[in-house]
Structures are given as structure tokens and as C-alpha cells.
């Protein structure tokens, strides 16, 4: 896929502040116009006062607070303006042909702005002429009122559209293009993932055929020989990594797998496939104390595909030690506790609303960060409980695509090639995967690649030579 340009506006640019000032002035002028008119109809109130004023404020907030990363979102207020102009044209003109032509014009301008702001149009300087021409048109349209020196009310009637167009023009002059090769968010992306746009057709429609994550769940059970892992664990503990264990090795091997098989770090949300790129979010349930009555809490650890076993050890232990032996006071626990105060019927509606927001990718990053249902993989170790690995389902809420469960150690007599019998330690593990994120051959190749590091865990001491980037 051809890489798009990434346009942004900076608060350090005076034109950005001029654009914001013009937009705010336009909103104030529009309020002044209809304030002096007295009572108005509901249609006028919505389409000529509330929505345009909200669009102006939304435009200002975007360029000042988020213009360097998500400037393309300024297309939303532009579409609101277009809707309001279309409604006004329907009221002012009788000829259906003129109304239709104006609708087409507003639609064309909105699409053009969206394509420019999203980086689809390389020659963004064309935007200067379009927005400048729009400003000039509003001035020309009101030229007789400007020359006649009308009252304050008439001046506000003249200014609100001129200031709005001038604000867009100033924003177009403030636009800059990033020259680096890094990827920046675009329409369709989420705050927690980049949308994959070049998938094969079957991969794009499979999420509509299997809309639920649990319905697209594949399960596999495998066994690992613990001999090389336990030898490696003893070496790391001798180096001073107290508490280093099989869990650290297992997680480090998975992290290294993502470095070469990035599709494993994808997720399906809103019937689209996204990738987290280099952000690997591990989620684990941890007991603050190893007692039956002690409740669980959830931790989320962020790993990078280039992390070594030592990096995994450090990052995981920081999160675990922060919750062990302490009251339930994590962000997840506090958020869950706050939800318990909501009455049942309202809570059901709140959860439905969260699911809806998650479907469209507009859930606040804070909620995504504290949610144990949003991440790359959820991991549980049954070793300390002394039971086999659980075959766990995937959650339909959230976007977790993989569930890993590691069982307890067990001994088994193994027949050697020379005819002797040797007792070895093994551990079973289960993997539940959302098959929509990648095909079976890919995931099987990833698991076989992970086994190489479980057989030779010392390879986890050095970073990978290359971290493969997921497709566009």
C-alpha cells in the first residue's frame, strides 16, 4: 500500500492560534446573530446555532490539543458544517436542481478536505486555494452589506461564515508534513492499534461471518521439556535474578516470537483487524497473597519485541511486586469498584455503551489501559496451583486474541535412542487463539518458532537482529 503523507499543525505556529481565534470568533458571531432574532424553530436552533457552534469548538480543540497527532480528525467538524449548509440551502431555495447542486458541492468539499487531512492527497497546497477561495466567496457574497455599513446585528450576519472560512484557511497555511518514515494514525485506526488495510479479501470478510471472538476460537495443547529451561533458570538466579522462573522464560519466548511473527500481535475489533505493532500487552491474574480467600487482581505489562529475558524479568516483577501483599488499589480494581456502585439496570446500559464505544474505537485510552480485556495476550500459570493448564475461552468483550495457560510440572519416563529410560520433567500448556487475526499455517509457524527458544532459552539473552513490522 502506498504510504500516505502525515499532516499536522503545531501549537508553536502562530497560524494555528490565529485559526483557533477565528473559529471561536465565528462561533461567537453566530450566537450573536440568532440571539438578536428572538425565538427560532427547532431546525434553526439545531442546524444554524448548536451544531455549527459545536463544530467550531471541536475544530479549535482538535488543532490545539491534538493537532500534532490527529489533525485528520478536523474533518469531523467540516462534515458538520457541510450538513448545516445543506439544511440551509434546502430552506432558502425552491429549485430542487439548485439544492441538489449545492448538496453535491458541499459533499465534494467535505470529501476533498477529508482526503487532504488524511494524507491521501499529496499536493496539499491545493487546499490553500480551495479554503482561500471559500473565504473570498463569502466576502464577495456579502459585499453589498459590507459596503453599506449595517448595524451590529448585520455585521454578525456577515462575519460568522467569513470567520469560519478564514479559520479553515489559516489552518491550511499552518499545516506541515512529516518527513520521517514513521507511521502515524489515520482514519480507521484506534488508539490501541493500527488498522491492517491490505489483508486478503477472505480475511476481511471472515470477521463478519464469525462476529464473536469466542465463536472464532481455536484451541491447541502442547508439551515442553523443562530440562533446558530449568538449567537456564538456575543460571539466571545465580546471576542475581531472584525469583526468575519458567514464567519469565515462557513470556520472553512469546515476546521473541512476536518480533518475527507480528501478526500474532493483532486483534479483531469492530469487524476489522488491527495490529499493535511493537506494543505487546501481557495481562496476568495475580494473587496478592497465596490464600484461598485472597482475591485476584489483574496486571498489565507492556513489552517490546526487542526485549530480552532480563527485560521481561524486570518489567514483569515491577508490576507483580507492586500488588503483592497490598490492598486491592490498582487502576483496574478502582475502576471495577466504581462500577459496582451503579445500579444493575444502569450498569447494564453502561456496559452496552462501553461495548458500542469499543466497537467504533472511541473508548478513552485510560479505560483501554485499565481494562484486563484489552491486550495482546492473557497469560496464566497453574504451576503454583499444582494443576494442569486450563482450556480457557476468549472474551467477547474487549479485544484479547490469545489466551496462554501453563500447567504444573510433571514427571515422565522417556525412552532414549540407546534403549535407556530417563525420567524428565515436562509441562503442558494450552493456547486459545482468535483465528481471524492470522491463518492457521502462520500461527503454527509462530508456535514452532517459540519452541526453539524454549529448547534453547539462552538465545533470549540477546535482542533479535531484526524486528519484523506487520503489513500495512
Whole-number Å distance between alpha carbons of 464 and 252: 12
Taking each helix axis from N to C end, the angle separating 440-455 and 227-238, rounded to the nearest 10 degrees, works out to: 60
- CATH number at 194-461: 3.30.559.10
- DSSP at 46: I
- The pLDDT, as a whole number, for residue 52 is 93
Q: Which three cell numbers stand for residue 25?
A: 470568533
Whole-number Å distance between alpha carbons of 370 and 233: 31
Q: Which three cell numbers stand for residue 386?
A: 499444582
pLDDT (tens digit, 9 = 90+) per residue, 391-434? Answer: 888 998 999 999 999 998 888 888 787 888 888 899 999 999 99
- The pLDDT, as a whole number, for residue 392 is 87
pLDDT (tens digit, 9 = 90+) per residue, 169-216? Answer: 999 899 998 888 778 888 889 989 999 988 999 888 999 999 999 889
The closest of 243, 80, 38 to 168, measured between CA atoms, is 80
What end-to-end distance do the CA atoms of the chain give, in Å?
6
- The pLDDT, as a whole number, for residue 145 is 59
Whole-number Å distance between alpha carbons of 184 and 186: 7
- The pLDDT, as a whole number, for residue 331 is 67
Please name the residue ranges forming H helices in 8-151.
14-35, 42-44, 51-65, 75-92, 96-117, 125-141, 143-147
Whole-number Å distance between alpha carbons of 426 and 221: 13
Q: Which residue numbers in the chain have pLDDT < 70?
A: 1-3, 36-38, 141-157, 287-295, 325-333
Count other Cβ atoms within 10 Å, centred on residue 45: 13
Give 382-412 as a 3 state SS string.
CHHHCCCCCCCCCCCCCCCCEEEEEEEEEEE
Amino acid at each position: 500500500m502506498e504510504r500516505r503523507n502525515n499532516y499536522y499543525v503545531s501549537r508553536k505556529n502562530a497560524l494555528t492560534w490565529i485559526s483557533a481565534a477565528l473559529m471561536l470568533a465565528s462561533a461567537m458571531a453566530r450566537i450573536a446573530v440568532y440571539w438578536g432574532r428572538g425565538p427560532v424553530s427547532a431546525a434553526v436552533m439545531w442546524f444554524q446555532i448548536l451544531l455549527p457552534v459545536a463544530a467550531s469548538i471541536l475544530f479549535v480543540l482538535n488543532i490545539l490539543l491534538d493537532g500534532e497527532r490527529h489533525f485528520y480528525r478536523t474533518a469531523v467538524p467540516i462534515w458538520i458544517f457541510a450538513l448545516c449548509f445543506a439544511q440551509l440551502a434546502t430552506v432558502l431555495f425552491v429549485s430542487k436542481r439548485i439544492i441538489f447542486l449545492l448538496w453535491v458541492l458541499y459533499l465534494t468539499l467535505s470529501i476533498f478536505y477529508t482526503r487532504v487531512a488524511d494524507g491521501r492527497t499529496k499536493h496539499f497546497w491545493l487546499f490553500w486555494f480551495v479554503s482561500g477561495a471559500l473565504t473570498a466567496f463569502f466576502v464577495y457574497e456579502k459585499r453589498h452589506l459590507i459596503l453599506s455599513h449595517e448595524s451590529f446585528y448585520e455585521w454578525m450576519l456577515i462575519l460568522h461564515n467569513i470567520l469560519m472560512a478564514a479559520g479553515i484557511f489559516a489552518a491550511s497555511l499552518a499545516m506541515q508534513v512529516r518527513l520521517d518514515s514513521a507511521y502515524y494514525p489515520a482514519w480507521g485506526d484506534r488508539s490501541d492499534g493500527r488498522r491492517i488495510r491490505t489483508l486478503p479479501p477472505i480475511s476481511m470478510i471472515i470477521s463478519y461471518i464469525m462476529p464473536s471472538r469466542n465463536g472464532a476460537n481455536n484451541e491447541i495443547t502442547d508439551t515442553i521439556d523443562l530440562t533446558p529451561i530449568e538449567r537456564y533458570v538456575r543460571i539466571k538466579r545465580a546471576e542475581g535474578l531472584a525469583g526468575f522462573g519458567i514464567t519469565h522464560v515462557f513470556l520472553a519466548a512469546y515476546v521473541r516470537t512476536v518480533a518475527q511473527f507480528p501478526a500474532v500481535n493483532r486483534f479483531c475489533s469492530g469487524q476489522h483487524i488491527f495490529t499493535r505493532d511493537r506494543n505487546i500487552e501481557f495481562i496476568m491474574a495475580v494473587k496478592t497473597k497465596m490464600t484461598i480467600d485472597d482475591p485476584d487482581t489483574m496486571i498489565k505489562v507492556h513489552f517490546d519485541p526487542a526485549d530480552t529475558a532480563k527485560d521481561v524479568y524486570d518489567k514483569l516483577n515491577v508490576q507483580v511486586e507492586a500488588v503483592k501483599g497490598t490492598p486491592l488499589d490498582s487502576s483496574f480494581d478502582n475502576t471495577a469498584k466504581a462500577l459496582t456502585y451503579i445500579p444493575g439496570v444502569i450498569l447494564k446500559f453502561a456496559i452496552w455503551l462501553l461495548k458500542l464505544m469499543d466497537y467504533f474505537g472511541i473508548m478513552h485510552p485510560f479505560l483501554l489501559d485499565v481494562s484486563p480485556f484489552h491486550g495482546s495476550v492473557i497469560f496464566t500459570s497453574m504451576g503454583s496451583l499444582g494443576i494442569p493448564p486450563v482450556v480457557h475461552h476468549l472474551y467477547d468483550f474487549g479485544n484479547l486474541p490469545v489466551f496462554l495457560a501453563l500447567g504444573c510440572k510433571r514427571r515422565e519416563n522417556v525412552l532414549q535412542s540407546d534403549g535407556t529410560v530417563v525420567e524428565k520433567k515436562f509441562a503442558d500448556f494450552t493456547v486459545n487463539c482468535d483465528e481471524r487475526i492470522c491463518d492457521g499455517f502462520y500461527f503454527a509457524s509462530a508456535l514452532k518458532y517459540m519452541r526453539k527458544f524454549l529448547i534453547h532459552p539462552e538465545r533470549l539473552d540477546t535482542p533479535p537482529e531484526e524486528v519484523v513490522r506487520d503489513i500495512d
